[in-house]
Structure 1
Amino acid sequence: MLFRDSPEHAAFRAEVRAFLDAELPRETWDMRNDREEMTPEEKEFTHQFRKKLAARGWLTMGWPSEFGGAGASYMTQTVYMEEMSAAGAPGAYDQGVWLAGPALMMHGTPEQQQRWLPRIRSADDHWCQLFSEPGAGSDLASLQTRAVRDGDVYVINGQKIWTSGAQEADWGILLARTDPEAPKHRGISYFMVDMRLPGITVRPLVNLMGSRHFCEVFFDDVRVPADCLVGEENRGWYIATTTLDQERSSINRVVMTRSTLYALIDYVREHPHLRTDVIRHELAERYLEFEIGRWLCYRVAQMQSEGKVPNAEASVSKIFGTELQRQMGITGLRVLGLPGQLEPGSRWAPLRGRIERWALAAPSYTIAGGTSEVNRNIIATRGLGLPRG
């Protein structure tokens, strides 16, 4: 693997940066990126920004050309995600693009592809992922939401939890159990669900920061048309696992820490009393970890570009990135001291309260998208060949 951009990737990186310089109010949006909630104005800006990405073909650059994508390599996609995340740009990660789209391209009928893919590609719809349940998180195959066939519809009952952005989603990708007698991995089906159907109730979950980003979703006799079933009935688990392999480098997790790290370094430079050896060493350690994390991400992308499946390597990258995020919050509080705990809006909050936001949010990153414990098991069994305990 080369530890520098190829001429092609360097040119593309410059193109993305020029676009962001022209279209993104960098300082304002960089500071907003430490909040999960958006104002109505920010939501409208995000919608229009995603439209611009779609118009340039960047939103679905990794899709094959036969589905309207650019067929971009994994390395090109990683460069794009790195620059978008570094700028705190909205819309870089989209569940319709990364999850629903690949499921339809690989397993959908031509009619389903024509129905949904163009609207995903043009950023017309918002999507959410309806997978986790109160009793089925890390062990997702234990899910209990039921889908029962009734003529030309499936009647769905159950509850989902930790669904990001469900309150604003137009469509959701749903895993539901269609054969309760089958082994747990073999009785699950994969559906596209209109989030406006009668019987769907979305209830936001308020977290420590007062954010309503996560939601729980209830299904009460929701009648989903049978033509919203993707792939074969009872084969949904295998569809989910193949589509979840799409973007695995975790570059966004690592790069998100860079702007916060640089903000802390600038703050220390402006306040001489903070220039102690302890603080300098801690900031240096975070910087080295950032560089290591970045290259771990590139290793995953390089393996994908060679046709390899980076199971253990992707888990290493995910763990390292989320632990770096957590450590960044701890470092921020150590550097700023008690004022670092002040919320945004306080006139006394250093860096406009971004460290308080970061410190509260960071522990959740080691859970979301696969817990560190589960990923360590993957590293042990698939990477090191250790026996299951």
Structure 2
Amino acid sequence: MDLNYTDEQRAFRNEVRAFLAEKLPQRLAEKVVAGKRLTKSDYEEWHAILNERGWLGVNWPEEHGGTGWDAVSRHIFEEETTAANAPRIVPFGLNMLGPVLMAFGSEEQKAHYLPRILSGEDWWCQGYSEPGAGSDLASVKTTAVREGDHYVVNGQKTWTTLGQHANRIFCLVRTSREGKPQEGISFLLIDMNTPGIEVRPIVLIDGEPEVNEVWFSDVRVPVENLVGEENKGWTYAKYLLTHERTNIAGVGFATAGLASLKRIARNQMQNGRPLIENPVFAAKVAQVEIDLMAMATTNLRTLAAAAAGQAPGAESSMLKIKGTVIRQQINHLARQAVGPYAAPFISEMLDEGSNVEPVGPEESMAVTQTYFNNRKLSIYGGSNEVQRQIISKAILEL
């Protein structure tokens, strides 16, 4: 995306490109391009490569092992890694829990957990949503009852992304039923290997068990795993969600998706001419590109404010809405571009080493898989409808 970069920023972009050309395994990039399923070892391999270079904690201060980058550097890095088809960085430890621990965790928790997030020794998942508490997160019913030096946890979490790979989970639990629902929630760090925890996969429309149910039956969690104060977890949960929603904007993913859309539209023919030359289709592509450029600018402003110590407020809700809508629009246009080849969907094709032959152009499989998977974008992290309510209250005071 064409912004007015300084010579130093252009030099950094070239440095990132050189690093990716040398260190990004071609096998991983090819899997991302083809829409193949990434394994746990795939994610861990890329995580380790970035950590070795010191480029993993892009939103962390240097004192905790992060890059200390400013907003523009982070934007450049995200653009280049997605353009190079690098695997996404699993966000739960790095982009969600890490900032919460830095802001509210004890010195012991920071010293223990932050290095393990960077090293990959801990793979975290997020225990927020429940069957009756999704966007209405204050309705969580999973309980944690204090018994001596432990909390005893009982309940259920759902839509736990990549929970099948995780060895730890950060959870919102109810520790009190007095007062408003928000006032009785605490933030717990739980070892997934503790007796009483069961992970049950939820198979999505693309055949991938990407999300899970996590059940807790008399799970004993040491009291020192409480983050901050008991019954103050709602404050920490909101802080985490503002960071999550900002990241969900996915400027880099949208930029890479737009480039892929243009490539597909140049290759697909309509009435003997490339689809991109169809004025109606070209106008749709141009509009989504304009929207993306505007969102990228807003994202930079928000990231800069966060880097200055300001937690994003309603701005993160704005970015969550616009970012997810833009990505879904790009997915929709790409699916339109491949036409009838978007219809076949053979789940086994997404597995590495599959011998199933693709139906139609090679890119059609990735287009369809991405389209289906990204339908969730406007729901998770707080549905877009709820985000509009947050905006109306925080900015319009309605």
Q: Answer yes or no: same fold by TM over 0.5.
A: yes
Residue type at the aligned position of 2:359: W
Matched ranges for 1:157-168 at <5 A: 157-168=154-165
Residue type at the aligned position of 1:334: Q
Report the equivalent of 2:135.
138
Distance 1:79 1:276, change over 3 A: closer
Structure 1 window deviating more from structure 2 (90-99 vs 357-366): it is 90-99
Report the equivalent of 2:21.
21
Distance 1:379 1:77, change over 3 A: same
1:125 and 2:136 equivalent?
A: no
Structure 1 window deviating more from structure 2 (240-249 vs 119-128): it is 240-249
SS of the residue corresponding to residue 181 of structure 2 reads coil
1:211 and 2:208 equivalent?
A: yes
Instruction: Give the whole-Å Cα distance in 1 for the aligned partners of 2:330 and 2:232.
Output: 41
Report the equivalent of 2:352.
none
Offset at residue 3 of structure 1 (A)? 3.9
1:348 and 2:355 equivalent?
A: no
Task: Choose the corresponding residue for 2:257, options 250, 260, 281.
Answer: 260
Residue type at the aligned position of 1:289: D
Structure 1 window deviating more from structure 2 (298-307 vs 91-100): it is 298-307
Instruction: Give the whole-Å Cα distance in 1 for the aligned partners of 2:167 and 2:127.
Output: 13
Task: Choose the corresponding residue for 2:55, options 52, 55, 58.
Answer: 58
Residue type at the aligned position of 2:285: L
1:38 and 2:38 equivalent?
A: yes
Task: Choose the corresponding residue for 1:324, options 323, 326, 335.
Answer: 326
TM-score scaled to structure 2, two decimals?
0.88
SS of the residue corresponding to residue 135 of structure 1 reads coil
Distance 1:227 1:210, change over 3 A: same
Distance 1:278 1:349, change over 3 A: same
Report the equivalent of 1:114.
111
Higher RCO (CA 8 Å, separation ≥ 6 residues): 2
1:65 touches 1:71 (CA, 8 Å); kept in 2?
yes
Task: Choose the corresponding residue for 1:278, options 270, 277, 280.
Answer: 280
Distance 1:87 1:27, change over 3 A: farther
Structure 1 window deviating more from structure 2 (225-234 vs 194-203): it is 225-234
SS of the residue corresponding to residue 163 of structure 1 reads coil
Offset at residue 247 of structure 1 (A)? 5.7
Offset at residue 28 of structure 1 (A)? 5.7
Distance 1:297 1:30, change over 3 A: farther
Instruction: Give the whole-Å Cα distance in 2 for the aligned partners of 1:224 and 1:50.
Output: 28
Offset at residue 172 of structure 1 (A)? 0.8
Instruction: Give the whole-Å Cα distance in 1 for the aligned partners of 2:178 and 2:106.
Output: 27
Task: Choose the corresponding residue for 1:302, options 304, 310, 316.
Answer: 304
1:205 touches 1:216 (CA, 8 Å); kept in 2?
yes
Offset at residue 266 of structure 1 (A)? 2.5
Task: Choose the corresponding residue for 2:238, options 236, 241, 245.
Answer: 241
Offset at residue 285 of structure 1 (A)? 2.6
SS of the residue corresponding to residue 182 of structure 2 reads coil
1:375 and 2:387 equivalent?
A: yes
Structure 1 window deviating more from structure 2 (274-283 vs 330-339): it is 274-283
Offset at residue 370 of structure 1 (A)? 1.9
Tell me the alpha carbon deviations over residues 156-179 of structure 1, each in whole angstroms, 9 at most, x when there is no partner: 000001111111101111110011
Report the equivalent of 1:8.
8
Residue type at the aligned position of 2:280: V
Instruction: Give the whole-Å Cα distance in 2 for the aligned partners of 1:178 and 1:96.
Output: 24
Distance 1:80 1:262, change over 3 A: closer
1:223 and 2:220 equivalent?
A: yes
Task: Choose the corresponding residue for 2:177, options 167, 175, 180.
Answer: 180
1:249 touches 1:298 (CA, 8 Å); kept in 2?
no
Instruction: Give the whole-Å Cα distance in 2 for the aligned partners of 1:33 and 1:185.
Output: 43
Instruction: Give the whole-Å Cα distance in 2 for the aligned partners of 1:34 and 1:185.
Output: 43
Distance 1:160 1:364, change over 3 A: same
Instruction: Give the whole-Å Cα distance in 2 for the aligned partners of 1:112 and 1:250.
Output: 24
Distance 1:226 1:160, change over 3 A: same
What are structure 2's unaligned runs of at least 5 residues?
350-355
The number of aligned residues is: 382
Instruction: Give the whole-Å Cα distance in 1 for the aligned partners of 2:69 and 2:95.
Output: 14
What are structure 1's unaligned runs of at least 5 residues?
none
Deviant stretches of 4+, over 6 Å: none
Structure 1 window deviating more from structure 2 (155-164 vs 246-255): it is 246-255
TM-score scaled to structure 1, two decimals?
0.90
Instruction: Give the whole-Å Cα distance in 2 for the aligned partners of 1:315 and 1:30.
Output: 33
SS of the residue corresponding to residue 82 of structure 1 reads helix
2:143 touches 2:153 (CA, 8 Å); kept in 1?
yes
Cα root mean square deviation, aligned = 2.4
Offset at residue 259 of structure 1 (A)? 3.1
Instruction: Give the whole-Å Cα distance in 1 for the aligned partners of 2:107 and 2:360.
Output: 54
SS of the residue corresponding to residue 238 of structure 1 reads helix
Instruction: Give the whole-Å Cα distance in 1 for the aligned partners of 2:96 and 2:53.
Output: 21
Instruction: Give the whole-Å Cα distance in 2 for the aligned partners of 1:33 and 1:168.
Output: 23
Offset at residue 92 of structure 1 (A)? 2.6
